[in-house]
Amino acid sequence: MSAEIIAVLACATSLLGTRPRAVAGGRAADEGALLMDRRRVLLVVAAVIAALGTLLVFLYVRGADTRADEKYHAVKVLKAVKQINTGETVEAAQAAGKIEEGTVGAGERLPDALDSLSTLSGQIAQTNIFPGEQIVASKFGATPATSNALSVPDGKIAVSINLTDTARVAGFVNPGDKVAIFMNSSGGAGLGSFTRLLLSDVEVIAVGTTTVVSTTKTDSTGAQTTEQLPRTLFTLGVTQAEAEKIMFATGSGELAFAKIGKDAKLVPDPGANADNLFK
C-alpha cells in the first residue's frame, strides 16, 4: 500500500478516536452526544472515501502518464522509404536512397530494429521490405534467399534476358531499378544498322547468376574470333507488347541497359545510324 493511502487512513483513525466531552445535565446530554458521534462518524467516513477516491484517481493518472512516456519516448531507427526488393544488397539500397534514419516510440521499436547499417555490410535482403518498415537484422542475410518465389508487378508479366557486363551498366543494375533498353542492330531481319531506344522505362524485378559464354565473330575477311564473355540473367516486369519487342529485338540484334537517373528524360527518336552519326 502506498504512503499516501496510509496517511489518509491514519488521519481518519485519529478523527474517529476523538469523542466529545460529556455534558452535564443528564440523559438528554448523553443522547445529544451520541447523535453528534454518529454524525461525526458519517462525515469522517464520507471524507475518507472521497480522499481515497481522489488519491486512487491521481495514482492511476500518474501511472498512465508514466506508461505513455515510456511507450512514446522517441528513439532512432532506420526505416525503408522505398521498397527494397528480395536479393538487393544493403549497399545498393542505401545508394538508391531507400533507407533513411527515422524515429518511433520506444514501445513501437521492434526487438532487432537497427539504427546503423554497420552490422549488415555486404548482406542481402531475404524478402521484400516495404516503405515505412523498420530495418531489422532478421530480414537480411549473407546469401540470397532460397525461395523460388518471384514477385511480379500487378498487370505485368516476367521475361528474362542475358546481358554482358558492358550491356548491364558494369553490374550496377539491381532488383527494383528502372532501366531503359537500347537495341543495337547490325542489319538482321531487314531492319538495317542502327542503335535506338527500344523501351524507356522497364523495372528489373530479379537478377540471376552470371555465366561465361563463348561468342564467335567473323570479320569481313572470314577470320573468326572467339571471346569468353560473362553474361548475367535479368528478369524484367513488362507488358505483353513490351515482352514481344524485347524477344524480337533479342533475336535480331543486341540489347543494352541504361540505368535511369533522377530527372532523366528519354524521348523516342530515329536513333543513330550511318546516315546521321556525324550530323
**pLDDT tens-digit readout, 209-264:** 777 666 677 777 878 877 776 778 899 999 999 999 999 999 989 999 999 988 88
Looking at residue 70, what is its pLDDT? Answer: 54
- Report helix, strand or coil for 30: helix
pLDDT of residue 174: 85
Which three cell numbers, joined as nine digits, stand for 76?
532512432
Residue 7 is predicted with a pLDDT of 54
Burial class (CB in 10 A: 0-12, 13-18, 19+), 97: exposed
d(CA 124, CA 277): 43
The list of the chain residues with pLDDT below 70 reads 1-33, 35, 37, 61, 63-72, 144-149, 212-215, 229
* Residue ranges per structural domain of the chain: 3-71, 75-141, 157-259
pTM over 0.75: no
| Model pLDDT, residue 6 | 54
Q: Which residues contact 33 (CB under 8 A, 6 or more apart)?
A: 20, 22, 23
CATH class (in words) of the domain with range 75-141: alpha beta
